[in-house]
Every structure is written in structure tokens, then in C-alpha cells.
Structure 1
Amino acid sequence: MVTDELVQRAQRGDREAIEDLFRREWSAVYRQVYRAVPNPAEAQDLTQEVFIRALKGLDRYQSTGAPFRAYLHAIARNLLRERWRRQGAHLVALEQAGDLAAPLALEEQVFDALASAELLRALAALPADYQTVIRLRLLEGRPTAEVAALMNRTPGAVRVLQYRALAMLRSLLREGARP
């Protein structure tokens, strides 16, 4: 069954459709949350909260052409932002981020040359959208098109956002390196 049909049935209150829809999307959302919160129990709790919020807002959901999964990832992203603001944590430790897909020269220099704490402080000083694009594109290695869907932006806007985020990060790191 097509996801759009499942969503429509779920919006009409079909319990089986809701369960099937969430069962299909659970692992993708859990992986997103686990990358940011590498504690399995906490990641599971946050993933459950994503689905609770999605269920509460299901009657207001309208397909925009993007997959339903993008809607769930947007909820997860917002939930993680709230958590980061509440707890003061901003990004996963770089050593926990895993391999990066084709990192750019700047990222290689930054990640290799600077201590994690200094970099995390600079990342924490970035606006939330800049943090998000750096996390999704560079730490998680997601393709531009996927990040665009998750952030509800065009791929071109994501590339511009990434460029600006890296420029600001570079500036913050240079300021921190001055005596």
C-alpha cells in the first residue's frame, strides 16, 4: 500500500493504518535521533515522542509532495532542537559521528586540527539552521536533496545555507585562535 493512502486512512482514524505507517517509518526516525543522541534508551524515548507528536498533528498534516517521512524527520529535528536548548547540548561528539561522506577540505582541516571541545563551542554559537545543516550534511553525510526535504528548503537554499554556516564557523574558529 502506498504511504499516501496509509496517511489518508490514518487521518480518518484507521488504527491499523496508523500502526502500519509508524512501523514502516520507525527505524528511519530512530536512526536520525540516535545519530544525535547516541544513547539507545534516550533515542527510543525521543523517537516515541516524535510519533506521539505526529499522531497528535496527523489531522492537520497535508501532503506537500514531499514524503511523509520528511514530515516525521522535521518533527524529530524540532524535538532535538528543543532538547539541545533545554539541556545545553548542541551536537554529538565528533568521534561519535562516524565516517563522513566525501568531506570537503575545510571540514578535514577543522576536524583534524582542532580539539572537539573548541569546535563544539564554535558550532554551538551558530544559529540553529546552521547547526542543523552542518549536522545533516557533514556529520551525518546526508545528500543535499534529503537535507532540503528535511529542512523544507530547496537544494539550492541548502547549499547556500551550508556555505554561510561554514563561513561563520571558519570566522568563529579564527576568532577563537587569536591570542
Structure 2
Amino acid sequence: MNWETIWREHWKEIYLYIYYRTNNKEEAEDIAQETFMKAIRSEHRYKDQDVTVIALLKTIARNLMIDRWRNKQKRPITTQMEPHIMFESDEKGPEELISDKDEVRYALSLLNEDQQQIIKYRILQGYSIKKTAELLRKTESYIKVNQFRAIEFIRNQLKNDDWRYCK
């Protein structure tokens, strides 16, 4: 097989196939590239089989997307959070954890609307800065600055014991 020709003929179709399912440009590019590399590496396995190239590429792409999705599901949400607002739960009982969660929720409610949305998209949903900027129709710099400010604000609120009595 001439992989250069296959690449030219099918790259866009595979990329769009992945992009429409991931809704993430960078991830679609990564998976598309990985799809072609995996197809090239495993060419000997399907050489004698009666399968079209596009069907093979889409199958590989689908399996790679499923693998990434499973890996994301296995990762605990704390791995996506900034270290500034993570809690050590080893020594705390259920009551303390609920209290901490309430305190974080209250601190989040004190943020302005944009900062709340940025924290939601970036930390809770794991979106990239670029994707968050697109969703909020803001610049990437705006997202970075406001994410930093929001996290600093939350950190300061959680350090300050006096604020708990102001609810």
C-alpha cells in the first residue's frame, strides 16, 4: 500500500470523523495521526483480508477514541484540578469533607459569572484554554488571567477562617 496516497486521500475524512465525535480540534488531529500510524504499523495483520482502507481507518479511529474516553473516565477528577484547590482527604471524616465541599461551593458562588464559567469548563469539565475561550467568546489570555484570579480568590477565601461566619 502506498501510505502517502492513502494519507492524502483520507486524512480529511478521518479527521472530520473524529472531530465530529470529540468536538476538539487538537484531540482530533492527535487521534487522526495516531490512526494512520497504527494502520501503518499493523499493515501485515490485514494485508490479506478483504477490507477497505477507509473502513479500517475508521475502525482504528473509533477504537482510539474509545480508549481515550475510557482513560479519561478512569482518571479521578482531582487530577484535572489545580493543586491550589485540592483537598487532602486521607485524615478527614465524612462531615469534614462535606463541610469542605460546602466551603468551596460558597467560595465559587462569590466569583463573577465569567470566572464561574471558566472554572466550570477548565477544571470541572477539563476543557482546554482554547475550547473555553471559544465557548465563552473571549480571548485565551482573558481565560488564563481570570482562571488564575479565580483560583487565587478561592485559595484566599479558604485560608481565611473569618469568611465562614459571614454566610
Output the TM-score relative to the length of structure 2.
Answer: 0.43
Output the TM-score relative to the length of structure 1.
Answer: 0.40
